[in-house]
Structure 1
């Protein structure tokens, strides 16, 4: 069993924010698993769906407490591997990288998971770009994608979804080789 976690914030007002791209990938995965069973257990602190060989989780704890949800689900189901899908400010919009472990890079969702679980899980890092001024980071991640980014987003989400499914069958290095995206999209969107 693999636990696939998409990071985001639960309220409707955050639905299309850059910080919610992890939730967007989980929703795309659920489109391919229409018979996934929704598991309602308040202790899991999130929306959890079970399909053959995978668990799909969207923590409802808000980003900075995501580790509570991941830990509760992990303690109950004991997954063999955990994949966390998240936005990454250090990567230009449209790029995609994969890694195991490492620091949280200031990402509060990863910081929380690391505190509750350690850092040895697979990370699917989706580039969202960054604002010109560091002081604008919170505003930037909690704002919606630009028009150019919204246009490119469906194809990006499809690619990420395929890469996550490949991680269930292939070695991380192989997936990174075939699915990593290095080309910046919407470069004109500097904020």
Structure 2
């Protein structure tokens, strides 16, 4: 009885509706497995791995992926590497958006892009999947393409009929030497998205 009375009159924590607006889901697309680690298609994973090392973060195996948390300037960044394989990425994205009550405008998806020269950054507020299976599944599961994406150029230096081999192939020697500088830029893009906003991030980094 006493315990019930204490519960009745004890102050309850009121959730601040702005808390969810300060939380961001940063999704790096890729395929799990050691055979995919250094492939062009896994640039989303590589960008988040670089960011995590830079900020001394650790990924934890969670439902539908690996997750690391980064706090910066009052914001919380959840870095997600889905373990569903590329073609089912949407399942992990939706689960973590819902679980963490993160609004769609705070979702940022990092993906490779054949239509951009190597290392080129293009941030967009929405768009079609452009033939990318990861984006295609996210669009399908979320039933929208109205979310921000960070396209990282991998160029299209392959012969006709060899697209799959190229995308799933490993970076060449020249690309490998230039990747650290481009991944450093990618880390800046991620921070900017959460602190400066999408529009300012696009203006500051697109085409770099």
TM surpasses 0.5: yes
CA contact (8 A) 2:57 2:68 kept: no
1:189 matched residue in structure 2: none
1:145-169 deviation digits (Å, cap 9, x = unpaired): 1111101100000001111111111
Q: TM-score, normalised by structure 1?
A: 0.88
Q: Aligned equivalents of 2:184 and 2:178: distance in 1?
A: 11
- 1:83-121 Cα deviation digits (max 9, x unpaired): 001100111112110001110000000001111112111
1:94/1:181 contact within 8 Å kept: no
CA distance 1:162–1:47, change in 2 (3 Å)? same
The 5 Å alignment of 1:15-94 reads 15-35=37-57, 38=60, 40-41=61-62, 44-52=63-71, 53-80=76-103, 81-94=106-119
**Aligned pair count?**
179
Helix, strand or coil: the match of 1:135? coil
Q: What is the match of residue 113 of structure 1?
A: 138
Q: Provide the TM-score with structure 2 as the length reference.
A: 0.81
Unaligned runs of 5+ in 2: 1-22
Larger Rg: 2
- Deviation readout 1:33-84 (Å, 9 max, x if unpaired): 435573x44xx31111223311110011111111111111111112131000
Unaligned runs of 5+ in 1: 183-191
CA contact (8 A) 2:30 2:41 kept: yes
Task: Give how far 1:20 is off.
Answer: 0.6
Which residue does 2:207 correspond to in 1?
181
Correspondence list, 1:136-175, <5 A: 136-175=162-201
CA root-mean-square deviation: 1.5
Moved over 4 A (4+): none
